[in-house]
């Protein structure tokens, strides 16, 4: 062996200072200090810890708000149950009120322009319409077409204000009406009237405005001659004369009540 190598051995690498122990102790101290400074995760009594904002000390505040939402104290609180019930009840009342108003408006429009029900209090149209029957009079037909012979119409009573009568149209303007031997003659032709069930048609003594109706009678322009089907118990044009066509409110099309009398007319 070379003597020079024995005399001059290779020195070992210098040992690094043992700093691991000291660094660990410093990190531990810093961690403990950070934990002591952090806000506790547990919430105050009565609060839901799940609603609290998570503790994320190492993340920017803007990121925490974006990810986890606003802090609990900034979030809107739920309304109390009585308050919610009160608002729901008010909303229900408003909706009912609107529905009632709409129904009234629609009813008014229907009665004015389409159809209207009437209850018949007398027997002048028996047996076609009985006492107490409810009828429907439609108003569309006469908005586009004139009144026709044989139509059953409702009209304003010329002898009493605010009273409505129902009769059958027998003759139109320009027609000549005559009553002979219990029959109705229009323009020289005796009418076939099965709806009278054989009841005779005789002139009536009129006390209305001292009116005297002599037959044969010519219906004036703009007027119509009406009579009840129950000829022996009907005050009609034989009593108060012809009525103005403009006073007609509608054409009766059906009896809707009671069920035993329901029929198309």
- pLDDT, tens only, 185-203: 999 999 999 999 999 999 9
Q: Which residues pair with 189 in a beta bridge?
A: 186
- pLDDT, tens digit, 9 for 90 and up, residues 78-105: 556 788 888 888 899 999 999 999 998 8
Strands (E) in 146-247, as ranges, are 152-156, 164-171, 176-180, 183-186, 189-190, 217-218, 223-227, 243-244
Characterise 212 by phi-psi region: left (phi > 0), alpha (psi -120 to 50), beta (else). beta
Instruction: Give the CATH H-level superfamily of domain 119-264.
Output: Umud Fragment, subunit A (2.10.109.10)
CA distances from 148 to 13, 85, 245 (A): 132, 60, 11
In the three-class reduction of DSSP (H, G, I as helix; E, B as strand; rest coil), residue 153 is classed as: strand
Does position 52 have pLDDT exceeding 60, yes or no?
no
Does residue 69 carry a pLDDT above 90?
A: no
Q: How far apart are CA 149 and CA 245, in angstroms?
A: 12
Mean pLDDT throughout 32-41? 52
pLDDT of residue 1: 45
Select from 183, 239, 200, 242 the least CA-distant residue to 218.
Answer: 242
**What is the pLDDT of the chain when averaged over all its residues?**
81
- Whether residue 221 contacts residue 201, with contact meaning beta carbons closer than 8 Å, is answered with no
Active site residues: 124, 167
Q: Are strands 176-180 and 217-218 parallel, antiparallel or unpaired?
A: antiparallel
| Domains of the chain by residue range | 80-113, 119-264
């Amino acid at each position: 062996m070379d003597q020079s190598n024995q005399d001059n051995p290779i020195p070992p690498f210098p040992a690094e200072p043992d700093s691991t122990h000291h660094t660990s102790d410093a990190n531990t101290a810093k961690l403990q200090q950070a934990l002591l400074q952090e806000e506790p995760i547990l919430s105050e009594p009565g609060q839901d810890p799940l609603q609290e904002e998570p503790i994320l000390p190492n993340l920017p505040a803007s990121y925490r708000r974006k990810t986890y939402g606003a802090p609990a104290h900034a979030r809107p609180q739920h309304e109390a149950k009585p308050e919610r019930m009160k608002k729901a009840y008010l909303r229900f009342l408003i909706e009912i009120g609107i529905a009632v108003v709409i129904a009234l408006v629609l009813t008014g429009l229907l009665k004015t322009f389409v159809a209207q029900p009437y209850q018949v209090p007398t027997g002048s149209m028996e047996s076609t319409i009985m006492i107490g029957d409810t009828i429907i009079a439609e108003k569309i037909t006469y908005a586009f077409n004139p009144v026709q012979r044989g139509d059953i119409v409702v009209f304003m009573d010329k002898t009493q204000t605010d009273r409505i009568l129902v009769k059958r149209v027998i003759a139109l303007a320009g027609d000549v009406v005559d009553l002979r031997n219990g029959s109705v003659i229009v323009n020289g032709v005796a009418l076939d009237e099965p709806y009278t069930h054989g009841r005779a048609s005789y002139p009536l003594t009129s006390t209305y405005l001292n009116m005297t109706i002599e037959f044969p009678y010519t219906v004036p322009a703009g007027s119509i001659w009406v009579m009840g089907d129950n000829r022996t118990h009907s005050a009609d044009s034989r009593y108060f004369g012809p009525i103005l066509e403009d006073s007609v409110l509608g054409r009766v099309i059906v009896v809707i009540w009671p069920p035993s009398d329901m029929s198309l007319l």
